[in-house]
Amino acid sequence: MIDLNERFIEKRSFFNRLLFIYFFFAVLFLFLLFKTYSLQVSSYSDYELAALKNKTKEVLVQPVRGVIYDRNGNILVNNVPTYDLIIQPSKIKNLDDFIINISKIIELSDAEIENINKNFKRRATYNRELTIKKDLSKEEIAKFEVRSYQFKNAFIDVRYSRENKYPYLFSHALGYVGGVSNDKVLSILKNQDLKQSETTFKYSGGFIAGKTGLENIYDSALRGSFGKKLFEVDARGRLLKELSFEKPINGKSLFTHLDLNSQKKAFEQMNNRRGAVVALELKSGSIVTYLSTPSFNVNGLSNGMSSVEFEKLINDVDKPFFDRAGQGRYSPASTIKPAIALFGIKEKIVDWNFTLKDPGFFVLPEDQRIYRGWKKGGHGTIDMKGAIIESSNTFFFSLAYKADINNLISHLSEFGFGRNVCKDCFNPDSGLLPTPEWKMNNLNFGWFKGDTVNLGVGQGYMSATPVQLAYYSAFLAKKGNLQELSFVESDSISNTAFINNLSIDNSDWDQIHSSMIGVIEDPRGTAKRLKPLKSYVVAAKSGTVELVSTETKEDYKLVRQNIGNRDHAIIVAFGPMPDPEYAVSVVIENGESGGSVAGPVAIAVLNELINK
Amino acid sequence: MKKKLDFKNFSIYFDQYLFIAITLLSVMGLFFLYSASQEDINTVAKQAIFVGFGLLLMFVVSQPDPDFYNTFSGLFLIFSLVLIFLTMIFGKEINGAKRWLDLGFFTLQSSEIIKISLPIFLSSYLYNKPLPISTRHTFITLILIGFIFALVARQPDLGTSLVVFMSGGYVLFLAGLSWRFIGSAIALFLLSLPFLWNNFLEPFQQQRVLTYLNPDADPYGTAWNITQSKIAIGSGGINGKGYQEGSQAHLDFLPETETDFIFAVIAEEFGFIGVCILLSVFFFILLRCLYLAFNARDRFCRLTIGGLSLVFASTLFINLAMVVGVVPVVGMPLPFISKGGSSLLSFYIAFGIIISMATHKKLMQR
């Protein structure tokens, strides 16, 4: 038995120790309370945000691309709906029964059933939709709709595909759309302050963007802005309910200056020959016809084509993918002569009264080398107007011989050669305006006088694209008042007159116009055969691009046995005179005669544009 | 105020303060559980049966005289140990841990029983030993505590084994363990930490501790629970999101909402105000126990009340500290609130015994 004293000591010791531990716990609990306070009160906003981020998921909604129109309001590129059958796997209890039932209405292939079985479980778990059959026929849609009450967990939804209504006509001008790289997707979304996320696609092709042509150049305007749906999700990422929906803004329509009829006419006239046609409306400086042939079905590229078809196109010797209008390089040949004539006038090397005796060839004084004309025996005594009408090489050889090469180059540059002249062409080529520096750097040779002489007839190193030739044609027509070309009307085009660095009198421009009218109208004209094809006056200059240099006609007959060695036919034209509205350039590879082969195509296109 | 009601020949022993507070907690617990279990009425009904039975059990357990517990404390301990051994042999294995004994109608977590019977036994063993406690008795006590600790830790159940260890330690300390011994024990413990780490902790337990020490290392892996728990508590703010409105709990971001992490659900739905109200009920119970311990009739009762109330405080602290991310995740219920019969019943029994210790007076004192 413990005595009273000891009992007292024991009691006090117990109380002290119990209080000690209680005090210790009091400190601990206060600390916890403080910790809870700091979570719930001090850091509340951080955690509130974290909880919100946890439970919400953003799903992007793809906008529909803008429609592309021609200048008369004809739809060129449209979004064509296809109807897909979609199910909600999370609401289907017995998949096998469902497949048996739906198969009674809509036939499913083995591949489609396999696809369903493969993806069903996952989609069900995450409460996502599953497309079970694409591109339903009208019959299938009707059959499903009348029985849709049986299938509360399935519905038909529209998906678009991008369709060019004239798949061969505008392949190069409008281009095609296709899938894009992840980096591109990220940058597109970043522009909209969005992060990459699950997306509800409107196109069966998913994330698409313009790859070539105007689809590419105006991609951001055509694309529109992504919308976003906010869903509540649980920890497993299942979509529970829609919280908000910011609708996508569909892409803007693109109203181009392209003209469906003239494009059709050009296509028909080219008849799959290799070449290009570019026509411009002069008042606005806009492109109304832009054709490169042979062409290809652009819809195949946008919406998928078989690899065999693709291989065939890629390996085609005629290179249908190649955009000859914007990227093909051709010597301007004799079509350059009006520009050279203006140079002669400007530099006071010649005037309109100057005459020259043309023996059919030009002898370079430095090395006695002979430069031949196309007509044996020459054109006799000839003035500059006659030299343009009859296309005398000798006249322009001798004119160029007297030219300062650097002045000549800067003169030709004003006409659009050697530079890009188009605001919204896809990957435009600048052609080549050769300079002494260029020759030294690329060919390791100095500039010969003979190179300048060759430039006088548009042969040699110089090359231009059909777009540049069309620009050149329009430049002549508008007497130098021409800005960069464009497919669409742009707000930025000001009405102020374009100021060029040429100082050419109006009377000289008129002389050039009348010379070029003579090319068709004059009995001596190289393109006189075109005269009966039209009911109005057209100014033109034809050209024939020599691919192989020959001394005599007999030699050429041998050379032309190989089709690839035949001359290219080329023409630039504008009309109706005296107040031209349209300018056109036509190139036909290995077409041999600018006047009689390229000419009719140019006139047919002008007829289509003017006679309406 | 402790009371002894006279009904002619027999008395009823009852403490209305503890009874009301515990009933209040239990009812609040059912209310919280309904939301935490995603409105699962079956879970709540089952828990309600435990609560009803538990309250009855508490009342029954508080009727016998403390001498009864004093006399049979050894038997209780042996009975608890037998249950532990049975668990080791016949136990149900869940997630690699063998802690549960399937009794058909009820799955018993045997370690919950021993954290009650051990402090009672130690109180009964030490209450009549002269002060200060001799080295011999200290060692006998420590060996017993260590043995039981090792048994529970092997299940493995680190959390409960620590509480068991503490339950013994509290009684030893309250009974007058010498300060010199305490000092050297703490030093020894700190020195042997690396050894304990390597030999006593399972890899998943080590991982939990490492996660605790560096929670940002892997927020979506092992630290997921703590991260989500903190988000739940923090996003509750001052007023909470409202009953059944907790997105963390209802969208499955929060783990173990019905058991270990139920406090996070409460904090999310009722905010800091709700937390304060809930904790004040707990604190009231603890302070009431302190008062009862001071007024207990003898040393055995004092030690028992002190020991059991500290077990209660420790469980509460470990659970809260774990949920707010202050200590590693160890698996510890929130007393009277978390789902789980064993823990619930053992606390009703503990408080029944506390009431018995507090309300029975020695005749000679009257």
In this prediction the pTM is 0.74
Q: A231: which chain B residues are within 8 Å (Cβ-Cβ)?
A: none
User: Which residue of B212, B224, B231, B319 to mutate against A (max A Cβ within 10 Å)?
Assistant: B231
- The type of residue at B346 is S
- Does B317 contact A28 at a Cβ distance shorter than 8 Å? yes
Beta bridge partners of A230: A58, A244
How many residues does this entry show for chain B?
366
Contact between A277 and A152 under an 8 Å Cβ cutoff? The reply is no
Residue B17 has pLDDT above 80, yes or no: yes
DSSP string for A156-186: EEEEEEEEESSTTTTHHHH--EEE--HHHHH
**pLDDT of res. B3:** 53
**Cα–Cα distance for residue pair A298/A304, rounded to 1 Å:** 10
Task: Write the CB contacts of A86 (distance below 8 Å, at least 6 apart in sequence).
Answer: A129, A130, A131, A132, A154, A155, A156, A157
Helices (H) and strands (E) in chain B, counts: 14, 5
**Closest residue in chain A to residue B232, using alpha carbons only:** A51
**pLDDT of res. A501:** 63
Task: At B185, list the tokens.
Answer: 């024990």
Place of tokens 């105007």: A214
Q: A32: which chain B residues are within 8 Å (Cβ-Cβ)?
A: 317, 320-321, 324, 326
Task: At A23, list the tokens.
Answer: 């005090």
Q: A235: which chain B residues are within 8 Å (Cβ-Cβ)?
A: 251-253
Taking the Cβ of residue B128 and every Cβ of chain A, the question of whether any pair is shorter than 8 Å is answered with yes
**B150-177: per-residue pLDDT in tens?**
988 888 788 888 899 999 999 999 988 8
Which of 56-95 (B) contact A at CB < 8 A?
Answer: none
User: Which residue of A13, A47, A52, A236 to mutate against B (max B Cβ within 10 Å)?
Assistant: A47
Range B26-59 burial, b when 16+ CB lie within 10 A, else e: bebbbebbbbbbeeeeebbeebbebbeebbebbb
What is the separation, in whole angstroms, between the first and last Cα of chain A? 130
- Does B253 contact A235 at a Cβ distance shorter than 8 Å? yes
User: Which residue of A40, A44, A125, A240 to mutate against B (max B Cβ within 10 Å)?
Assistant: A40
Task: At B284, list the tokens.
Answer: 């009231």
- Does B326 contact A232 at a Cβ distance shorter than 8 Å? no
The residue ranges of DSSP E strands in chain B, in sequence order, are: 2-7, 10-15, 92-94, 97-102, 107-109
Taking the Cβ of residue B114 and every Cβ of chain A, the question of whether any pair is shorter than 8 Å is answered with no
Q: Rounded to the nearest 5°, which phi and psi values hold at A362? A: -120, 135
What is the separation, in whole angstroms, between the first and last Cα of chain B? 16
> Using CB atoms, which residue from B175, B228, B272 is nearest to A41?
B272
**Closest residue in chain A to residue B282, using alpha carbons only:** A29
**Cα–Cα distance for residue pair A257/A76, rounded to 1 Å:** 12
Place of tokens 């024990």: B185
- Sorted by where each begins, the domain ranges of chain B are 2-71+178-365
Contact between A67 and A78 under an 8 Å Cβ cutoff? The reply is yes
- Does A234 contact B326 at a Cβ distance shorter than 8 Å? no
Q: Which of A118-132, A433-447, B69-83, B300-314 has the lowest mean pLDDT?
A: A118-132
**pLDDT of res. A27:** 96
Taking the Cβ of residue B123 and every Cβ of chain A, the question of whether any pair is shorter than 8 Å is answered with no
- Does B131 contact A35 at a Cβ distance shorter than 8 Å? no
**Cα–Cα distance for residue pair B188/B210, rounded to 1 Å:** 23
Beta bridge partners of A242: A231
Q: What is the mean pLDDT of the segment spanning B58-83?
A: 94
Task: Write the CB contacts of A218 (distance below 8 Å, at least 6 apart in sequence).
Answer: A210, A254, A424, A488
Task: At A520, list the tokens.
Answer: 């068709």
**pLDDT of res. A493:** 45
Which of 173-212 (B) contact A at CB < 8 A?
Answer: 173-176
**Cα–Cα distance for residue pair A254/A252, rounded to 1 Å:** 6
Task: Please tell me which residue, B198 or A296, carries the higher pLDDT value.
Answer: A296
Helix, strand, coil % over all residues of chain B, rounded to 5: 70, 5, 25
> Using CB atoms, which residue from B238, B247, B267 is nearest to A55?
B247
- Does B230 contact A47 at a Cβ distance shorter than 8 Å? yes
- Residue A456 DSSP label: T
Q: How far is B9 from chain A (nearest CA, A)?
A: 31
Q: How far is B87 from chain A (nearest CA, A)?
A: 33
- Does A40 contact B267 at a Cβ distance shorter than 8 Å? yes
**Cα–Cα distance for residue pair B35/A491, rounded to 1 Å:** 62
Place of tokens 């989500």: B228
- The type of residue at A320 is P
- The type of residue at A472 is Y
**pLDDT of res. B159:** 84
**Cα–Cα distance for residue pair A555/A75, rounded to 1 Å:** 51
Task: At A238, list the tokens.
Answer: 């299942």
ipTM computed for the complex: 0.91
Which of 300-329 (B) contact A at CB < 8 A?
Answer: 302-303, 306, 310, 313, 317, 320-321, 324-326
Place of tokens 């009964």: B124
Q: A53: which chain B residues are within 8 Å (Cβ-Cβ)?
A: none
Q: Is A329 exposed, middle or buried (0-12, 13-18, 19+ CB in 10 A)?
A: middle
Chain A with chain B: Cβ pairs closer than 8 A: 127
- Does A32 contact B313 at a Cβ distance shorter than 8 Å? no
Contact between A321 and A296 under an 8 Å Cβ cutoff? The reply is yes
Contact between A584 and A277 under an 8 Å Cβ cutoff? The reply is yes
pLDDT band at B133 (very low <50, low <70, confident <90, very high): confident
- Does B290 contact A43 at a Cβ distance shorter than 8 Å? no
**pLDDT of res. A342:** 95
Evaluate the omega torsion of the peptide bond into residue A338 and state whether it is cis, within 30 degrees of 0: no
> Using CB atoms, which residue from A14, A19, A40 is nearest to B238?
A40
- Does A43 contact B234 at a Cβ distance shorter than 8 Å? yes
Contact between A574 and A504 under an 8 Å Cβ cutoff? The reply is no
Walk me through the domains of chain A, giving residue ranges and CATH numbers: 59-255 (3.90.1310.10), 260-610 (3.40.710.10)
Which of 257-276 (B) contact A at CB < 8 A?
Answer: 267, 271-272, 275-276
> Using CB atoms, which residue from B131, B310, B326 is nearest to A21?
B310
- Does A40 contact B131 at a Cβ distance shorter than 8 Å? no
- The type of residue at B124 is S
**Closest residue in chain A to residue B228, using alpha carbons only:** A51
- Residue A611 DSSP label: -
- Average pLDDT by consecutive 10-residue portion of chain A (612 residues)? 72 91 96 95 93 89 93 93 87 87 86 87 83 86 86 86 91 90 85 82 85 93 92 85 91 94 95 95 93 90 75 87 94 94 93 91 89 85 94 93 93 94 93 93 90 92 96 94 85 51 86 95 92 94 85 79 87 93 95 85 95 68
Q: Under DSSP, is residue A357 helix (H, G, I), strand (E, B) or coil?
A: strand
- Does B232 contact A51 at a Cβ distance shorter than 8 Å? yes
Element (H, E) at A230: strand A227-233
Evaluate the omega torsion of the peptide bond into residue A576 and state whether it is cis, within 30 degrees of 0: yes
Residue B108 region, left (φ>0) first, then alpha (ψ -120 to 50), else beta?
Answer: beta
How many CA atoms, within 13 angstroms, populate the side-chain half-sphere of residue A368? 0
Evaluate the omega torsion of the peptide bond into residue B328 and state whether it is cis, within 30 degrees of 0: no
Task: Write the CB contacts of B56 (distance below 8 Å, at least 6 apart in sequence).
Answer: none
Which of 135-174 (B) contact A at CB < 8 A?
Answer: 170, 173-174
Taking the Cβ of residue B251 and every Cβ of chain A, the question of whether any pair is shorter than 8 Å is answered with yes
Q: How far is A120 from chain B (nearest CA, A)?
A: 23
**Cα–Cα distance for residue pair B39/A189, rounded to 1 Å:** 41
Contact between A451 and A566 under an 8 Å Cβ cutoff? The reply is no
Enumerate chain A positions whose Cβ falls within 8 A of a Cβ in B: 2, 6-7, 9-11, 13-15, 17-19, 21-22, 25, 28-29, 31-33, 35-37, 39-41, 43-44, 46-48, 50-52, 54-55, 232-236, 240
Q: How far is B302 from chain A (nearest CA, A)?
A: 8
Beta bridge partners of A464: A330
Taking the Cβ of residue B231 and every Cβ of chain A, the question of whether any pair is shorter than 8 Å is answered with yes
Kindly list the distances between the CA atom of residue A153 and the CA atoms of A1, A75, A93, A123, A148, in Å, as whole numbers in the listed order: 83, 37, 10, 13, 9
Q: B302: which chain A residues are within 8 Å (Cβ-Cβ)?
A: 11, 14
Contact between B15 and B344 under an 8 Å Cβ cutoff? The reply is no
Residue B180: how many CB atoms within 10 A of its CB?
9
Place of tokens 């102020």: A496
Q: How far is A7 from chain B (nearest CA, A)?
A: 9
Taking the Cβ of residue B233 and every Cβ of chain A, the question of whether any pair is shorter than 8 Å is answered with yes
